[in-house]
Chain A
């Protein structure tokens, strides 16, 4: 086998695949293609530290261990197409690259509002380091900031910007922020604590229009009009309204990309009839995979530990095929049931969770008190499928153990 293992996506997931392939004994060529000009870096600080301090790539770059050996990093070089029968991918320059195995690790892009005039200043999304640095420049004390979207990223940026002295308003569609990932009662408490710090919330709402003025001759956002007719004047708008999987380049591949890349529990990509596409894998945020921890439905999971878990899984399977002579079928049959873990920092709040609260049909406070530290349990048909809380990290850890044992 002389063709390289090709990884598309030079972020956490892609890096962890390469590291794990080496750990499982693969010594052959590895090429990693990245759309961004940067080596892999950690995204969670983008909504927190990177907005608050004048830091650059060095502060968030992942450490790359010597044991990773020789890697061909093809940065600023997105892949635009794939031919699964010839086993090649095409890069933006039109060059074709053969692969022995291909790992799709292209993650997500933040949804944008397309109907604004080209180049409107003051309008932002947040997914990449360059986005964060652009947003940071505008988060000056006194700046009026509107955040559209009351999920984790919206709430985190709200806290960071308010702390920097901006006047922050959050617009969301539910009764409270974070109701989907955490439930109404938990979300209401997060909102209460954010309001105590001065953040304003406009819930059960949405935007009807964006008013654009001019500054120095170019278009610049001036206000957000809400569906109920209210107008929020602003200098800066952040759209934190969700993300879409980066799968455009797979459009004519036959791979099932209905909502991210559909894979089985071994991270092997599937076609629309559910058959394995030979030697193509997907991992991280872009993968829609089955997790027997919960049930047999394939889902995308946008939590930070999943790229690492799925990268190790894919690398192990690939190594079984190409390196160790270990039985490929045995590697495929190994159990893989990663426990999602997620956290969020907002002001003094440290929210931490395990499992999948979004799957629950019922939730209740199981430890602590709502105004201080607490743990919520999330249940589906009486089975604990997730926990989340503020503080109480040891308690959360023991519920994590309990969920693993109950599988």
Chain B
């Protein structure tokens, strides 16, 4: 599956991190880093992360 975060919208709150820690993390500067390609087994976690993103900045593209 392909994941995209709209970095114009993202405010680096890190709410996605606790729903899908294998995909999203905050780096040492408290900025979001994420993996754009993930295994299908991550879909439920990534959907949960998209749900809890306050800025609704996470898009699942396929």
Shortest CB–CB separation between residue B32 and chain A, in angstroms? 10
Query: Please, which residues of chain A bring their CB within 8 A of the CB of B54?
Result: 42, 44, 304, 343
Query: Please, which residues of chain B bring their CB within 8 A of the CB of A352?
Result: 13
A394 and B14 contacting across the interface, CB-CB below 8 Å: yes
Bound: A65/B44 CA distance, A: 13
Task: Answer whether residue A341 sits at the interface, using C-beta atoms and an 8 A cutoff.
Answer: yes
Contact among A19, A304, A350 for B11, CB-based, below 8 A: A350
- Chain B 42-58 near chain A by CB (<8 Å), digits 1 or 0: 00100100111010100
Bound: A308/B17 CA distance, A: 16
Residues of B5-30 whose CB lies within 8 A of A: 11-15, 17-18, 26, 28, 30
B56 and A397 contacting across the interface, CB-CB below 8 Å: no
Shortest CB–CB separation between residue B39 and chain A, in angstroms? 19
- Chain A 40-63 near chain B by CB (<8 Å), digits 1 or 0: 001010000000000000000011
Residues of A375-394 whose CB lies within 8 A of B: 391-394
Query: Please, which residues of chain A bring their CB within 8 A of the CB of B44?
Result: 23
Bound: A383/B62 CA distance, A: 44
A400 and B18 contacting across the interface, CB-CB below 8 Å: yes
Contact among B15, B18, B30, B51 for A391, CB-based, below 8 A: B30
Task: Answer whether residue A16 sits at the interface, using C-beta atoms and an 8 A cutoff.
Answer: yes
- Chain A 299-311 near chain B by CB (<8 Å), digits 1 or 0: 0000011001000
Our count of residue pairs bridging A and B at CB distance below 8 angstroms stands at 42
B51 and A397 contacting across the interface, CB-CB below 8 Å: no
Q: In the complex, what residue of chain A is closest to B15 when comparing beta carbons? A: A341
Task: Answer whether residue A345 sits at the interface, using C-beta atoms and an 8 A cutoff.
Answer: yes
Interface of B, helix, strand, loop or mixed by DSSP: mixed
A394 and B26 contacting across the interface, CB-CB below 8 Å: yes
Bound: A16/B51 CA distance, A: 8
Shortest CB–CB separation between residue B51 and chain A, in angstroms? 6
Given A308-B51, A394-B26, check contact A63 B11 (CB 8 Å).
no
Bound: A207/B8 CA distance, A: 40
Bound: A396/B18 CA distance, A: 12
Given A62-B56, A391-B30, check contact A397 B12 (CB 8 Å).
no
Query: Please, which residues of chain B bring their CB within 8 A of the CB of A343?
Result: 11, 13, 54
Bound: A100/B11 CA distance, A: 41
B13 and A63 contacting across the interface, CB-CB below 8 Å: no
Q: In the complex, what residue of chain B is closest to A352 when comparing beta carbons? A: B13
Q: In the complex, what residue of chain A is closest to B60 when comparing beta carbons? A: A65
Q: In the complex, what residue of chain B is closest to A19 when comparing beta carbons? A: B51
Query: Please, which residues of chain B bring their CB within 8 A of the CB of A65?
Result: 47
Contact among B26, B47, B50, B59 for A393, CB-based, below 8 A: B26
B15 and A305 contacting across the interface, CB-CB below 8 Å: yes
Query: Please, which residues of chain A bring their CB within 8 A of the CB of B59?
Result: 63
B52 and A308 contacting across the interface, CB-CB below 8 Å: yes
Bound: A42/B50 CA distance, A: 13
A-B contact pairs, 25 of them (CB 8 A): A19-B51, A23-B44, A42-B54, A42-B56, A44-B54, A63-B50, A63-B56, A63-B59, A305-B15, A308-B51, A308-B52, A341-B15, A343-B11, A343-B13, A343-B54, A345-B11, A350-B12, A350-B13, A392-B30, A393-B12, A393-B30, A394-B28, A394-B30, A396-B14, A397-B18
User: Which residues in A have some Cβ–Cβ distance to B below 8 Å?
Assistant: 16, 19, 23, 42, 44, 62-63, 65, 304-305, 308, 341, 343, 345, 350, 352, 391-394, 396-397, 400
The 4 closest A-B pairs by CB, nearest first: A393-B30, A393-B14, A394-B26, A343-B13
